[in-house]
Amino acid sequence: MTNVLHCFGESGNAYKAALTLTLCGIDWTPRKVDFFNGATRTPEFRARNVMGEVPVLETGDGEVITQSGVIQQWAAEQSGRLGGETPAERREVLRWQFWDNHKLSSQAGMLRFLMNFLPPEKRPAEVIEFTKGRLQAAYKTLDTALENSDFLVGRSVTLADTACCGYLYYPEPFGFSRADWPNIDRWLSNLQALEGWKHPYDMMPGSPADRA
């Protein structure tokens, strides 16, 4: 039985899990979740994940693992990769995962949804502008951390990188431009050069073009 990742291409959180599994050398297959037609709100999906969110990983051993950070940790445990080389590095990796979840991905994901996937007449202008400001501070934090480093923790890619990059490859506008942040741009290019890297719309099924 193979590992199955319930996901869809537009989800940056699912991309974190998909990219991590790939870079850890773990075989997996995607199963598209039709989020935009309510699939995560069905009783069948809620029985798999009561939180009603992707990603969900069904392992080859029959375990069901939810939340991108937990899937990332599982992949690192299974493979011995991306978790950090020392106890101090592992704590630093976890620090960046928590920061990303609170300061970067949660807000980038919400802003991208508000700006692109809601009908124009339903887009809350004040919320959008406030969130853009919060994200500018997060981008500055990330750019500063990468000023003299190729990766966020240690000498090579870790879960810190695959967490924090989750939304930053998407083309839809959400207050982020690589050209504005040279250290982030260089770091994203470093990740793109890794064997197995793919854009989220190439790594997982589903994109806005499917609904155009």
CATH 3.40.30.10 residue window(s) in the chain: 3-82+198-207
- What residues are paired with 170 via a beta bridge? none
Tokens (6 digits) for 75:
């992949």
Among all chains, which residue has been given the structure tokens 């807000």?
107
Please name the CATH architecture into which domain 87-192 falls: Up-down Bundle (1.20)
CATH 1.20.1050.10 residue window(s) in the chain: 87-192
Are 132 and 175 in contact, with CB atoms under 8 Å apart? yes
- What residues are paired with 5 via a beta bridge? 30, 57
Tokens (6 digits) for 162:
């695959």
Are 96 and 164 in contact, with CB atoms under 8 Å apart? yes
Mean pLDDT of 127-154: 98
- The pLDDT tens digits of the residues spanning 50-109 come to 999 999 999 999 999 999 999 999 999 999 999 999 999 999 999 999 999 999 999 999
Are 78 and 60 in contact, with CB atoms under 8 Å apart? no
- Confirm or reject CATH 3.40.30.10 for domain 3-82+198-207, answering yes or no: yes
| pLDDT at residue 1 is higher than 80 | no
DSSP 129-191: HHHHHHHHHHHHHHHHHTTT-SSSSTTS--HHHHHHTTTTT--S-SS--GGG-HHHHHHHHHH
Per-residue pLDDT band for 212 (boundaries 50, 70, 90) equals confident
Pairing of strands 28-32, 3-7: parallel
Mean pLDDT of 181-196: 98
- Cα separation of 177 and 187, whole Å? 14
Per-residue pLDDT band for 211 (boundaries 50, 70, 90) equals confident
- Tell me if residue 119 falls in helix, strand or coil: coil
Q: Check residue 164 and give left, alpha or beta (phi > 0: left; psi -120 to 50: alpha).
A: alpha
Mean pLDDT of 34-43: 93
Q: What is the pTM of this model?
A: 0.96
